[in-house]
Chain A
Amino acid sequence: MEIGNVLILAQKELKDARRNRWFLLYTLAFTGLALALAWLALSGIGNKGLAGFGRTGASLINLVLLIVPLMGLTLGALSLAGERERGTMLYLLTQPISQAELLMGKFIGLALAILVSLVIGFGLSGLLIAWQGGTTEAAQFLELVLLAFGLALASLSIGFLISATTRKSATAVGVALFFWLVFVFFGDLGLMGTAIVLRLDIDQLFTLALLNPLQIFKMAAILAIRSNLEVLGPAGTYALRTYGSQLMIFLLAILALWSILPLAGTYLVFRRKGVL
C-alpha cells in the first residue's frame, strides 16, 4: 500500500466533506446542541458549586451517544455505495491505485472530517466553559473528545461495511439508520429488558454491553469523568471489580476492535465484489 496514494484520496475526501450537506448538518446540529448543553450546565455552577467541564462533559455523553454514531454510520454508508452508484468508483479503480488504498483513503478522509466536526462542537463549548467556569477538569473533557472520536471511528467502520454490502446509497443509509436505532435502543432499555427477560447473570449482561459500541463509549466516558461506574449499576460495578485499573484499556481495546473488524470485513467484501 502506497501511503502517498492514501493521502491523495484522503485529502480529496476531506475536501468533498466540505460540500456534503449531511456533514454540514451534523456539524451544525452537534455544535449547536453542545453549546446549548454547555450553557445549561454553566447556568447551574453558582447553585451547585460544580466545575463546568465535568458537568458539561457528563451532559455531552448523551449528545455524543445520539449524534456521533448517526454521523459515522450514515457518512460511512454513503461513502462506497454513493461512489459506486455515481460510477466514480469504477473510474477511480481503473487508475493505478489498489482497492486497499481507495478504502483507507476514504476512511481516513471521512474520519478526519468527523474529527473536524467534533473539534468544532467540543472546541466551541470548551471555550465557553473555560471562559465562564474555569479550566478545572479540562483533561477529562479532552478524554471525552478522544473517546467520541473513537466511537466515530467505530461507527464509520460499520457504515463502511454496510456501504460495501449494499448496491444503492439509499438502501445503505436505510440500513445505517436501522443499525443506529438498534445501537441506541440496546443502549439502556434494551439491555435492561433483555437482562430481565433472559435472566442474565451480571457477567453476561456486561458481555452483552460490549456488543454495542455505544455502551463501550458510555462506560469509558463515565469512567474518564467520574473514575467509577456506580452510575451504571451492577454491570458497572462488576466491570470495575473484574478489570480494575485495566478497565479503561480493556474498553479502548474493544472499541478499537469495533473499528478494525468491520473495516477488515469491508475490505474482504470489496475485494470479492470489485466495483459492482
Chain B
Amino acid sequence: MVRVKDLTKRFGTVTAVDHISFEVEAGQSVALWGENGAGKTTALRCLLGVIPFDGEVHLSELDLARQGKAARRRMGFVPQEISFHDDMTVKETLLFYARIKKTDIFSSQSGDLLDRLGLVTYLPKRVRDLSGGTKQRLALVIALLANPPILILDEPTANLDIQAREKFLSLLAELKGEGKTLLFSSHRLEEVVTLADRVLVLELGKLVADCHPNELASRLDTRAMLKLYFEGDEWIQQALSTLTGHGYSAEPNGTGIWVQVVPLEKAKPISILTEAGIPVSDFQLEH
C-alpha cells in the first residue's frame, strides 16, 4: 500500500529525514515515533507530496513524485495544527473540500460520517467558533470524504484535552477496524500502544527501529508513579508488604502509597492488592 525507499529531506545543511525506507501493508496501522525534531512531521509532509524530497514514495503503486495528485486522492490527512479558512462555516468548508475531492457531503457515506462524528449540529457555525476537538473531528471528516484507503495523521491528539483525545482515539480505532491503513506520528506511548500494529522509531531523521509497540514500551522503560488510597491507614503497611513481595518499589506517602509502575501494566498493583483482599478506594497516576 505504501512503499518508501531512501526518503531524504534536507533543509540547507540540515538533514531532517535521512534515507528512511519502509513499507506499510493495506489495513496496517503504523506509528512514526520520535522526540520533537526527530523528523516525523517532515517525513509525513514528504509522503503527502507537499514538499520536494529525494528518494521514492509509492502509494497504491502510484509514484508520488510524478503522480502526486492521483496519490493524494487515495489518502486523507489530519494535520497537527488544524488550519481551515476561519471565515467559512463548517458546511461551506465541507462543501469546498468535497468539491475538490469530487464527492458530495450529503451522500450516504459522508452523511453517516457527519452523524457519527457528531458534526451535523455544527454545520451552520463558523470554523473559528469551533473548539479544538471539533476542528479535529471536522479534519477527520474531510480526510475521509471520498473514502480514501489511507489515512495520514500528524500528532492527531496533540492539541486535545483528555476527554476529546479518548473519543478521537476510539474513532481512529474504529476506522482501523474497518480496514483503513493508518500512518500517524505521535510521541504519546499510550496512543501508539492503543492504535499501532508497528512503530517506526525516528531519531534525528534516521529510522532506528521498526518494532511492535510493546517492544517500544519495554525499551523506553517509561516508568510512572501510581498513588493508591485505602479506606483506612491500617491497610497501608499490608499493601506495602504485599507489593514489595511482588517485586514492586513502593513507599508510604501521607494517606496512601506510591508504587512505581511500568507501561502496559499500570493497573497490575491494583489487581494484586484486590486479590490479596486489600480494598483500594482511589488511585492517581503521574508520569
Chain A residues in 8 Å Cβ range of B100: 5, 8, 95-97
Does any Cβ of A come within 8 Å of B99's Cβ?
A: yes
Measured in the bound complex, the distance between the Cα atoms of B50 and A8 in whole Å is 20
**Does A274 lie within 8 Å of B84, measured CB to CB?**
no
Chain B residues in 8 Å Cβ range of A98: 68-69
Chain B residues in 8 Å Cβ range of A274: 45, 50-52
Chain B residues in 8 Å Cβ range of A47: none
Within 8 A of A (CB), among B94-132: 96-97, 99-101
**Residue from B72, B81, B85 whose CB has the most chain A CB atoms within 10 Å:** B85
**A272 (CB) vs chain B CBs: closest residue:** B52
Measured in the bound complex, the distance between the Cα atoms of B83 and A83 in whole Å is 10
**Does B50 lie within 8 Å of A88, measured CB to CB?**
no
Measured in the bound complex, the distance between the Cα atoms of B79 and A93 in whole Å is 12
Measured in the bound complex, the distance between the Cα atoms of B46 and A276 in whole Å is 12
**Does A94 lie within 8 Å of B84, measured CB to CB?**
no
Does any Cβ of A come within 8 Å of B201's Cβ?
A: no
**A97 (CB) vs chain B CBs: closest residue:** B100
**Does B50 lie within 8 Å of A94, measured CB to CB?**
yes
Within 8 A of B (CB), among A1-58: 5, 8, 12, 16, 19
**B70 (CB) vs chain A CBs: closest residue:** A96
**Does A97 lie within 8 Å of B69, measured CB to CB?**
yes
Does any Cβ of A come within 8 Å of B150's Cβ?
A: no
The interface size bin for chain B is 20 to 34
Measured in the bound complex, the distance between the Cα atoms of B84 and A94 in whole Å is 12
Q: Which of B48, B87, B96 touches A94 (beta carbons < 8 Å)?
A: B48
The interface size bin for chain A is 20 to 34
Measured in the bound complex, the distance between the Cα atoms of B80 and A87 in whole Å is 11
Summarize A's interface: helix, strand, loop or mixed: helix
Within 8 A of A (CB), among B56-73: 68-70, 72-73
Known contacts A94-B50, A98-B69: A87-B97 contact under CB 8 Å = no
**Does B81 lie within 8 Å of A12, measured CB to CB?**
no
**Does B83 lie within 8 Å of A86, measured CB to CB?**
yes
Q: How far is the CB of B77 from chain A (nearest CB, A)?
A: 4
**Does B101 lie within 8 Å of A94, measured CB to CB?**
no
**Does B84 lie within 8 Å of A276, measured CB to CB?**
no
**Does B81 lie within 8 Å of A87, measured CB to CB?**
yes
Chain A residues in 8 Å Cβ range of B79: 87, 90-91, 94
Known contacts A19-B87, A96-B73: A8-B96 contact under CB 8 Å = yes
Does any Cβ of B come within 8 Å of A153's Cβ?
A: no
**Does A16 lie within 8 Å of B83, measured CB to CB?**
no
Chain B residues in 8 Å Cβ range of A19: 87
Inter-chain contact total with CB atoms closer than 8 Å: 57
Chain A residues in 8 Å Cβ range of B73: 96
Within 8 A of B (CB), among A84-128: 86-88, 90-91, 93-98
Does any Cβ of B come within 8 Å of A176's Cβ?
A: no
Measured in the bound complex, the distance between the Cα atoms of B50 and A275 in whole Å is 6
Q: Write the B124-165 contact mask toward A (1 if CB under 8 angstroms, else 0).
A: 000000000000000000000000000000000000000000
Measured in the bound complex, the distance between the Cα atoms of B76 and A96 in whole Å is 10
Measured in the bound complex, the distance between the Cα atoms of B50 and A90 in whole Å is 7
Measured in the bound complex, the distance between the Cα atoms of B66 and A63 in whole Å is 47
Q: How far is the CB of A135 from chain B (nearest CB, A)?
A: 41
Known contacts A19-B87, A88-B85: A94-B52 contact under CB 8 Å = no
**Residue from A88, A95, A98 whose CB has the most chain B CB atoms within 10 Å:** A95
Q: Which of B51, B83, B96, B99 touches A87 (beta carbons < 8 Å)?
A: B83
Within 8 A of B (CB), among A218-276: 271-272, 274-276
**Does B72 lie within 8 Å of A88, measured CB to CB?**
no
**Does A275 lie within 8 Å of B51, measured CB to CB?**
yes
Q: Which of A86, A88, A93, A95 touches B101 (beta carbons < 8 Å)?
A: A95
Q: How far is the CB of B159 from chain A (nearest CB, A)?
A: 13
**B152 (CB) vs chain A CBs: closest residue:** A94
**Does B97 lie within 8 Å of A95, measured CB to CB?**
yes
**Does B83 lie within 8 Å of A90, measured CB to CB?**
yes
Measured in the bound complex, the distance between the Cα atoms of B85 and A16 in whole Å is 9
Measured in the bound complex, the distance between the Cα atoms of B73 and A62 in whole Å is 49
Q: How far is the CB of A81 from chain B (nearest CB, A)?
A: 14
Q: How far is the CB of B45 from chain A (nearest CB, A)?
A: 8
Measured in the bound complex, the distance between the Cα atoms of B168 and A40 in whole Å is 65
**Does B87 lie within 8 Å of A96, measured CB to CB?**
no
**Does B99 lie within 8 Å of A96, measured CB to CB?**
no
**Does A94 lie within 8 Å of B83, measured CB to CB?**
no
Known: A94-B50, A272-B52. 8 other contacts (CB 8 A): A19-B87, A91-B77, A91-B79, A91-B82, A94-B79, A97-B69, A98-B68, A275-B50
- 8 closest A-B pairs by CB: A87-B83, A274-B51, A94-B77, A96-B73, A96-B72, A93-B50, A94-B48, A88-B83
Q: Could you jot down 17 A-B contacts, CB within 8 Å?
A: A5-B100, A8-B100, A16-B87, A87-B81, A90-B45, A90-B50, A90-B79, A91-B79, A91-B83, A91-B84, A93-B50, A94-B50, A96-B69, A96-B101, A97-B100, A274-B51, A275-B51
Q: Write the residues of chain A forming the contact surface with B, with a CB cutoff of 8 angstroms.
A: 5, 8, 12, 16, 19, 86-88, 90-91, 93-98, 271-272, 274-276
